[in-house]
Amino acid sequence: MKTLLLIALTFGPVAAAPADVETDKREILAVVKKGVEEVVEVLKNKELSGDERRKQVTKIIDPLIDFQLLAMLSLGKKHWNAADAKQRETFTELFVETVKLSYLEKLELFTDEVVEFDEPIPTSTKGSPKYSMLTYIVSKGDRIKVDYHITKRDDIWKAYDFEIEGVSIRKSYGAQYNDYLKQASFDELLATMREKVEEARKKGSQSAGTQ
């Protein structure tokens, strides 16, 4: 899958125009292309260590994804509403760290994939406008589909979910959390997430140290 999972996290915000679909589509296309190109440029820089590439990619993606909304949607309305403010805050922090650590480890696998872009498609006109935008990672004869789900938050275009070959990040994590919470408490979920984050951090540090 190589850089697929990382590229799926990499487009940035731009001020959204009033209800003008064609303007929205042009802006979203520009945003996605810019974000992908910035990350690809970092990943192709072989003079950077693995740790330096991770830091630069993280700096690019941090303000570009609506992690708060993605965390809330992944947990689900039922569990989110049942959690208190502190639990929600801790869950969001651990969720963001989980997502970033999981995919940043794929950096070392980057080669020279080509990214193709389709035109954004409106998926909802109710409330904040929502769009779907397909991109394709072309690598060694394969054409892998990544579908971004984009909405306007505080007049900024951001991602709130994405699908890789039809598998939604939100639904994938959401199913795991829902199954876990059928048998354990919310605090136990947080403890398990914290343990996994620590393990991933150690693994990332060891990997960076060997380059």
In the chain the domains, ranked by start, together with CATH numbers, are 4-198 (3.10.450.710)
Residue-level pLDDT, tens digit, the chain, 211 residues:
545 555 555 555 555 444 588 999 999 999 888 887 888 788 778 888 878 888 888 888 877 788 889 999 999 999 999 999 999 999 999 999 998 887 666 555 555 678 889 999 999 877 788 999 998 888 777 888 889 899 988 888 999 998 888 889 899 999 999 999 999 999 999 999 999 999 888 876 655 554 5
pTM (two decimals): 0.78
Could you give the C-alpha distances from 116 to 25, 36, 47, 88, 144, in angstroms and in order? 16, 10, 26, 37, 10
